[in-house]
Structure 1
Amino acid sequence: MDRVRRLATRTPAGRERYIDLLRALAIILVVYGHWTDTVIAYDRAGHVTGYSATPELRWAHPLTWIFQVIPVFFLVGGFANAASLTTFQARGDTATDWLLDRSARLIRPSTLLLGTLFAGSLLARLLGADPTETRTAVSFATIPLWFLCAYVAVVGLTPLMYALHRRLGFLVPLLLVALVAAGDVGRLRGHGPLSAGNFLFGWLVIHQIGFAWYDRYATTLPSATGPRAATERGGLLARQLPIGWPLAVTLTAVGLGALLLLTVVGPYPVSMLTTPGERELDNSSPPSLALLALATLQLGVILLLYRPVQRWLRRGRPWRTVIGVNAVVLTIFLWHISAVLPLTAALNAAHWLPAPPVGTGTWWAWRVPWLLSLTVILLGLLAIFGPIEARAAGHRPETIPDRQHESRPGRSRTVLTIGGYAGVVLGLLINNAVRMSTPEPLGIPPVALLAYLAGAGVLRLLRSTRRHPA
């Protein structure tokens, strides 16, 4: 708490506090949305399993327009990554240095999660647990890693994509939207693999808009010089996101209109979450045009509230709360599903499973103690694992790259850094692709674990090969 107060008092007057609030609100909606939607029951073999209540609550599908806030994470990520990258480059560091620094906060908490799950799976194996049940538990706990997989890939591309943004402005997200549309057409025509690129293109669209928000913000800083103070161009080559009522109203109207047209009239599902049994299109896996329409609507609403919320965040208590949540935001995200596991085990041991039928009054009443219990468990997990993320976020290397032993561009270091990111993404991708029902004695597929650890290990080694400044 003292650390949060110190951070609050040191906040620069010109900080875009709204960005931090959006991140904090988004994680709260994700956590309680997932917990509310989770159903724990027994499968046909009598094993405990979990599934989504969304298919059985069709009346609630429009509510997913509120709880699907992953686009907000990528919007905020674009702003934060552009801000961090430009700061690194302004002090003479390279994009590779930035990628290595950025990897610390992203990968340390996820490595801790995977390591804990691996150790738990190994113990369960020694105790004679069924490999299918072990994989089910680990697969359930690693659901958040699908987001991290996409986000790590987007972060790895940030230096390239920000350079394109500086050159081509809004033309870049427009081209990415066209690629998403082409992928959706492929899905509608029965060629699902053609939409594989949407897993990247869709999130890059929103990330690029975060760049534009940062570029607009950077020009308001007293120290804005060089590229930050460059004259803004017009049309599709514009690089700055205007913050004002005209754009906010336009985005809100266009986003809502497009969303209704695509989902009510068009072929897209109303639900913005992955819903088994829906039509050919899935709005979030991979991102669809309908999800981009939702992101447009969300951006419009965000801009409508911009000025009053910024004033509200000048107050001490709200801002301290925002700082506290952001200090452990990745830990909250990574562990909130894992919090379900001990509670499920306790309920199963007490013979209080399965839960009442989904959608009944008893089921909704049961959600209250369910959510309260999960909140308490998550707070306990944060007390254990949160400090690791907080230290990684606050750490700034006291060392600098030893460029005396590198070629000027540091090409080998850059290649290894890219390879490290690729290994992490590949490991997470393989784990996400393996079915929950696949017997895995160690919970995590060995190939996935090896790829992830190889990538994370390379990045850790590169971060450590820095010398103290003379």
Structure 2
Amino acid sequence: MAIVQTPHAAVSARPRRPARDTGIDFVRALCVLGVVLLHSIMVGVTVADQGPVFTNASDGTAWIAPLSWLLQVMPLFFVIGGFSGLLAYRRTRERGGTAIGFIAGRLHRLLRPAVFTIAAVGVGLALLTVAGVPADLIATAGFRYGQPLWFLGVFLLCQTLLPLLASAHEGAPHRTITVLAAAAIAVDVLRAVTGLEGLGFLNLAFVWMALQQLGFFLADGRIDALRRRTRAAAGFGALLVLVATFASGLYSSNLIANINPPTGALLLVGVAHTSLLSLHRERLERFSRRPRVAAFTGFVTVRTMTIYLWHMPVLLVMAGVTAVSAMAVGDTLPALDSAGWWAGRPLWLVTALALTALAAVAFTRFEAQPAPQATASRPRLVVGVLSGLIGIVLLLVLGTSVATALIAVALLLSALRLCSQEKTSPSPVTGVLVPA
């Protein structure tokens, strides 16, 4: 009788990399930078006779499609999230921790900085209301702020399900990722056949969980164990299929359009990015150890969620100050996508990065505090996670206003309390996206 080696044993037999992969940290930091740059360049501010106008500067432009091929990093972000999350969960179990403790730690590191940011935005909107700013402008600001919060909700869901998905991965790795990817494609097909656009939002779960599952394979060393030719072929094949879907009209060539709702195109992007990452991993690790590169990586690594949560408020403040300043001096702002507008983009982007960095330094303590020890039962944990998700979805669906911000903060605080005790002690889980 042949001896069947379990998936876990097979993975353990492979040589392990050090717990800290500085190359992966560096790529994650680049992803965060890419998100801030993409959102920054999409901010459009003009002044009309009736007052300031805030729009998406990329609407109807030809440049957003090729730019999205460069800066659509969310698929890779979730792959790296799966990589880091699986390693962190396994270390938690090795230290005697539980799945409940792991999930509670993730929830705290994601929602604690979000509570402060949402509260600050709510106060800011209240001050604008008192100052007499038109309601439509306040509503636009609240809507723009809430848009990027989809990531917070989806990442919370993926990390909450990580212990369950990790168990499925250890038992049936290929079957699990195949089922998730097939479900994502099935949603795209049903959406196209029925014309019901709302069906596409089911892929907020299937697409991102499939990409997180791909990160598990990277953490196991399964991908790096493949021949370089095989990995290169997988990445190139995914790219060819992606281009074919663009040419056929199946998916939009604008990868930003493929994120709301998510489509199977993002799975192909994730495969291509993961192939590149695996092929150049050793080189990236060597490069990441250079002093200046390491300093950049270290700055972003401990502030990942803070940067993500604060970059949009920073951009909204910049847009408001730009419009008010122009009206105060009677200046005319350049038309969007004009030569004058492009000439001002470098200064705009540098200012956005600098102010976001300052905000991140100021508010890092909300992300860096150790998570309290989890004492919640499984039902309390489930209710806590649902409370947090409902608070985020509320802002996404209804937009951010003084009222919705207040309700969301209450729901997020409830989620944090349900998943911890009053007296805190350091948790073995020390980061959301970063291996300890």
* Common topology (TM > 0.5): yes
List per-residue Cα deviations over 1:207-235 (Å, max 9, x = no partner).
0011121122xxxxxxxxxxxxxxxxxxx
Q: What is the DSSP-based 3-state SS (H/G/I as helix, E as strand, rest coil) of the residue aligned with 1:54?
A: coil
Report the Cα offset of residue 160 of structure 1. 1.1
C-alpha distance in structure 2 between counterparts of 1:319 and 1:372, whole Å: 20
Is 1:15 aligned with 2:14?
A: no
The alignment's C-alpha RMSD in Å is: 2.5
Aligned equivalent of 1:431:
395
Quick one: which of 233, 243, 257 aligns to 1:260? 243
Aligned counterpart for 1:291 among listed residues 266, 271, 274: 266
Q: Deviations over 1:156-189 (max 9, x none)?
A: 1111111111111022121111111111112212
Greater RCO, CA 8 A, separation 6+: 2
How does the TM-score come out when normalised to structure 2?
A: 0.86
Using the TM superposition, name which of 45-54 and 66-75 deviates more: 45-54
**Equivalent of 1:185, from 183, 189, 210?**
189
Query: Which residue of the other structure, out of 275, 294, 311, is the alignment partner of 1:319?
Result: 294
Q: How big is the shift at 1:387?
A: 3.2
**Cα–Cα, structure 1 residues 244 and 422, in superposed 2: closer, same or farther, change >3 Å?**
farther
Q: Distance in 1 between matches of 2:196 and 2:146?
A: 28
Task: Show CA shifts across 1:384-418 (max 9, x none).
Answer: 212332x23xx265x574xxxxxxxxxx7111112
Counterpart CA distance in 2 for 1:68 and 1:124 is 33
1:226 paired residue number = none
- Among all aligned residue pairs of Structure 1 and Structure 2, give the percentage whose two residues are the same amino acid: 25
Which of residues 95, 108, 115 is equivalent to 1:111?
Answer: 115
Counterparts of 1:215-234 in structure 2, within 5 Å, are 215-216=220-221
Of 392, 396, 421, 1:464 maps to 421
Contact kept in structure 1, 2:45 and 2:52, CA below 8 Å: yes
Q: Identify which range, 364-373 or 200-209, moves more after superposition.
A: 364-373
> SS of the residue aligned with 2:37?
helix
2:92–2:102 contact (8 Å) kept in structure 1: yes
Partners of 2:165 and 2:146 lie apart in 1 by 28
Report what 1:369 is aligned to.
347
Distance in 1 separating the partners of 2:167 and 2:76: 22
> 1:270-329: CA deviations, max 9, x gaps?
00003xxxxxxxx11122111211111111221221121122223343223211111111
- Which stretches of structure 1, 4 residues or longer, exceed 6 Å deviation after superposition? none
- What's the offset of the Cα at 1:62? 2.4
> Equivalents in 2 of 1:146, 1:50: separation in Å?
21
Structure-2 residue corresponding to 1:414: 378
Amino acid across the alignment from 1:454: L
Give the letter for the 1:71 counterpart. P
Query: In structure 1, which of residues 41, 48, 54 is the aligned counterpart of residue 52 of structure 2?
Result: 48
Aligned partner of residue 48 in structure 1, secondary structure: strand
The answer on whether the counterparts of 2:40 and 2:349 sit within 8 Å (CA) in structure 1 is yes
Unaligned runs of 5+ in 1: 1-11, 217-238, 275-282, 402-411
Distance 1:458 1:37, change over 3 A: closer
Residue type of the alignment partner of 1:256: L
Structure 1 residues 120 and 14, CA gap change in structure 2 (3 angstroms): closer
User: Structure 1 451/53 Cα, relative in aligned 2: closer, same or farther at 3 Å?
Assistant: closer
C-alpha distance in 2 between matches for 1:262 and 1:468 = 51
* 1:239-293 deviation per Cα after TM superposition (whole angstroms, max 9, x unaligned): 666365123302221111111111112421100003xxxxxxxx11122111211
Q: Deviations over 1:433-458 (max 9, x none)?
A: 225xxxx7xx1553x74355224323
Aligned to 2:309: 334
Corresponding residue SS for 2:344: helix
Give the residue type in structure 2 aligned to 1:415: P
Distance between the aligned counterparts of 1:126 and 1:258, measured in 2?
A: 53
1:39 maps to amino acid = G
Within the alignment, does 1:381 sit opposite 2:388 as a pair? no
Q: 1:54·1:60 contact (CA, 8 Å) conserved in 2? A: yes
Moved more, 113-122 or 127-136: 127-136
AA paired with 1:340?
Answer: L
Between 1:335-344 and 1:255-264, the stretch displaced more is: 335-344
Amino acid at match of 2:209: L
Contact 1:75 1:206 in 2 (8 A): yes
Report SS of the residue matched to 1:56: coil
What is the alpha-carbon distance in structure 1 between the residues aligned to residue 332 and residue 406 of structure 2? 32
Distance 1:345 1:362 in 2: 19
Q: 1:142 deviation in Å?
A: 2.7
Q: How many aligned residue pairs are there?
A: 406
**Per-residue deviation at 1:118?**
1.2
Unmatched tracts of structure 2, length 5 or more: 1-16, 427-436
Name the residue aligned to 1:405.
Answer: none
1:64 corresponds to which residue? 68
Change (3 A) 1:331 1:166: same
Whether the aligned pair in 2 keeps the contact of 1:29 and 1:67 (CA below 8 Å) is yes
* DSSP-derived class of the 1:40 partner: strand
Instruction: Report if aligned partners of 2:177, 2:213 keep a CA contact under 8 Å in 1.
Output: yes
- Is the deviation greater in 286-295 or in 126-135? 126-135
Question: Hey, what's the Cα distance between the residues in 2 that align with 1:39 and 1:369?
Answer: 14
**Higher mean C-alpha deviation, range 161-170 or range 346-355:** 346-355
Q: Specify the code of the residue in structure 2 equivalent to 1:382.
A: A
- Whether 1:450 aligns to 2:394 is no
Preserved CA contact (<8 Å) 1:176 1:202: yes
Q: Are 1:134 and 2:138 matched, yes or no?
A: yes
Under a length normalisation based on structure 1, what TM-score does the superposition of the two structures give? 0.80
SS at match of 2:20: coil
Rate the CA distance shift 1:309–1:468 in 2: closer, same or farther, 3 A: closer
Deviation sequence 1:96-125 (CA, Å, 0-9, x none): 111111112111111111010111222233
For residues 119 and 464 of structure 1, do their structure 2 counterparts lie closer, same or farther at Cα, with a shift above 3 Å needed? same
Q: What pairs up with 1:183-222 in 2 under 5 angstroms?
A: 183-189=187-193, 190-216=195-221
AA of the residue aligned to 2:311? H
Residue number among 285, 310, 321 corresponding to 1:346 in the alignment: 321
Q: Which residue of 1 aligns with 2:8?
A: none
Matched residue type, 1:291? L
The amino acid of 1:343's aligned partner reads M
